[in-house]
Chains A and B, each alone.
Chain A
Amino acid sequence: MQAFLNKMRDSVTKTQVWKSVFRHGYEDTPRNRYLQVLDNVWLHLHPTRIPRHAGYVRFTWCMGGITFLLFLVTAVTGVLLMFYYRPTAEYAYSDMKFLEFDVPFGMFLRNMHRWAAHGMVITVWLHMFRVFLTGSYKPPREFNWVVGIILLTATLLLSFTGYLLPWDQLSIWAVTVGTNMARATPLLGHEGPFGPELGMRPDNDVRFVLLGGTQVGPPTLLRFYVLHCIFFPIFLCIFIAVHFWRIRKDGGISGPL
C-alpha cells in the first residue's frame, strides 16, 4: 500500500510540469525552510531567518501586517464596488440603494469595505503606537518612521475622500465640515489670515480648488472619487513598497543591540 502511494506521489511530483512550478521539496529540512521563503514571491519580502523576538505577537502586535491586510481587503472590495457605483450626483445615492437591496451580497460588500477602512485607521494608529514604544524610529530607522507618517496621513485622506461617496446626508455634511477648514488656510483661504489681503475669494481660494466649487457639490463628488479610487491607492502602494523595502534595508525588525 505504502509503495503504491509513493509511486502515485512520484508520478505527480517527478514530472517536468510539477518541477517547473515547485522548485523544492516539502520535507522538513533547513534547506527547504530557506527555499520556502526565498522561492516565494510573497514570502520573500521576509528574511529567511528572523530574531527570536520578531516572532512574538507581544513585540510587534502584528499591527503593521494587519494594516496591510486591511488595505488589501479595501482594495479588493473597493474594485468590486466600483462595478456598481457611478460618481455623479444623479446616480451615486441610488447606486448605494441598489447595492443594498438588489446586488447579491452587495450590502455585505459595502460593509466589509467600510469596516476594513475604519479598522485600518485604528490599526495604523496602533502600529505607530507600538513603533514609538519600542523606540524603533531611532537610528537607523529614522526615515522609515517619516515614510510611516506619510502612510498615516494618506490612510486618513483615503478614508476621508471615501466618506463622501455614498452621497447621503452623513457624508456630505461630514465632508463639508472637514473641508470648511480650508477656507481658513493662512494666505490661501478667503477667511484665513492675510488671505483676503492676497485677493482670496470664495471662488478662487484653496477650498475652491479642493471642492471644484464654492460648496460640496457634484464636482466635489467626482474629484473625491478620482482621489479615492486612483490617486490615494496608488500613492499608498508606492509608499508601502518603500516602507517594506526600507524595513529590510535598515536591518530588519528592530531589536536590542
Chain B
Amino acid sequence: MDNLMLILGKPDNIPIIMMLVLFGFFTWLWWREARKNDKLIREGRYCELQAENNDRIFTWPYLARIEFLAAILVMVILTVWSIVLDAPLELPANPAKTPNPSKAPWYFLGLQEMLVYFDPWIAGVIFPTIIIVGLMAIPYIDRNPKGNGYYTWDERKFAISTFLFGFFALWIALIFVGTFLRGPGWNFFAPWDYWDPHKVVAMVNVDLHQFFGIRSSVVAFLFGGFVVTAYFALGVLYYYWKKKTDFVQKLGAARYGVLAFLFLCMMGLPIKMLLRWLFNIKYVWITPWFNI
C-alpha cells in the first residue's frame, strides 16, 4: 500500500488521476445528453433540436463571456496547481545507471504496456501508425449520416461502442496499468504489493505451435502464417456472409476493407492479451525476420 501511495503521489502521475476524474465526468455528461436527445428523437421531436440550431444568439456577450470565464477558471486552477505541486527533478542524467522500471512519459505508457503482448516493431511502430491513420480514416469510413452535431447513442451504437472500447479499454486502461501496476522488470504488482526487484516470475510462456505440439520449425512457420492469414480472412468471410445487408452495402468494398482491417488490428490486442492470460501464449507466428 505504501508503494501505491508513493506512485500515486509522484507529481507526473497526478495528471492521470485528474484525467480519470474528467473522463468519468464527461462520459456521464455525454450519456445524459445522449439519452435526452434520443428520447426527443423517439418521440419524433427532432425538429426541436434543429430549432435550437437555427436560433442564433450574439457571440458578444453570450459566447465571449463563457470563454472569458472558462479562461479565468483554467488559469486559477493552473496557478493553484503550480503553487502546490512542484515539477519533478531527479538526480542528474546518468547513462550508466538504468532505473528499474524505466518508464516512458505517462501518455505513452499504453504503448509501453502493449510491449508485453507484442514485439517492439508492432507495439512501438506499427500500432502507433495504425492508430493515427485509423483515427484519420474515421470520417471516411463512417457513412452513417445520423448523429451529426448532437449527442446520441441510439443512432450510432456501433461507431460509439467501438470508439469507447478502443479509447477506454485499450488506451486509458493500459496507461493506468502501465503507470500504477507495473514495477521492476515490468512485472505486474497489485496495488498492495511491495515492488520487489527480485520478484521471480516463472517462464511458462510457449508459442502457439508448441501449444499444439508442433515441433518442426518449417511446419510451425506455415502454421503460424496460416493462423494470422485466417484471422484477417475472417474479414473477407464476413463480407460475403453479410454482403446483402444494408450495413455492408452502404460501405462498399473499399471502405469495408479498410474498416475490417483496422477493426481486426484493434481486436488483435485484446485477443493476444487473453491468449497470454489464459494459455501463456507468447507468439502466434514465428519467422526468421519477425514474430507476431
Measured CB to CB, the residues of A under 8 A from B are 30, 33-34, 36-37, 43, 46-55, 57-59, 61-62, 65-66, 69-70, 73, 89, 93, 96-97, 100, 107-108, 110-116, 118-119, 121-122, 125-126, 129-130, 132-139, 141-142, 145-146, 149, 152-153, 156, 159-160, 163, 166-174, 176-178, 180-186, 189, 191-194, 197, 215-217, 254-257
Contact = CB atoms under 8 A, between A and B. Distances in A.
Contact of A119 (B49, B50, B62, B78): B78
Interface in B141-176: 142, 144-152, 156, 160, 163, 167
A52 to B, nearest CB: 5
Contacts of B55: 51-52
| Chain B interface residue bracket vs A | 35 or more
B59 A194 contact: no
B252 interface: no
Contacts of B163: 132
Contacts of A215: 95
B265 to A, nearest CB: 15
A191 B120 contact: yes
Contacts of B33: 58-59
Closest 3 CB pairs of A and B: A181-B124, A255-B53, A142-B139
8 contacts: A33-B58, A58-B29, A73-B78, A115-B81, A130-B30, A133-B151, A136-B149, A255-B150
B12 interface: yes
B93 interface: yes
A181 B120 contact: yes
B138 A137 contact: yes
Interface stretch (B17-25, B190-198, B200-208): B17-25
B59 A184 contact: no
Interface in B13-50: 15, 18-19, 22-23, 26, 29-30, 33-34, 46, 49-50
B59 A189 contact: no
Contacts of A58: 29, 33
Given A160-B105, A177-B104, A112 B82 contact: yes
Contacts of B88: 168, 170
Contact of A159 (B29, B105, B124): B105
B147 A174 contact: no
A65 B260 CA distance: 35
A49 B56 contact: yes
A220 B36 CA distance: 52
A219 B152 CA distance: 50
B89 A111 contact: no
Given A65-B70, A122-B18, A178-B108, A43 B52 contact: no
Contacts of B254: none
A33 B60 contact: yes
B54 interface: yes
A158 to B, nearest CB: 11
Contacts of A130: 26, 30
A217 B95 contact: yes
Nearest to B149: A254
Contacts of B102: 173-174, 176-177
B63 A181 contact: no
Nearest to A197: B289
Given A55-B63, A217-B95, 13 more contacts: A33-B60, A58-B29, A126-B23, A134-B151, A135-B149, A145-B138, A149-B136, A168-B90, A168-B92, A170-B12, A174-B104, A189-B121, A256-B148
A135 B148 contact: yes
Contacts of B30: 130, 133
B79 interface: yes
Contacts of B22: 122, 126
B132 interface: yes
A61 B57 contact: no
B165 to A, nearest CB: 13
Contacts of B83: 108, 111
> Which of B83, B98, B125 has its CB near the most chain A CB atoms (within 10 A)?
B125
B6 interface: no
Contacts of A138: 139, 142, 144-145, 147-148
B92 A169 contact: yes
A69 B87 contact: no
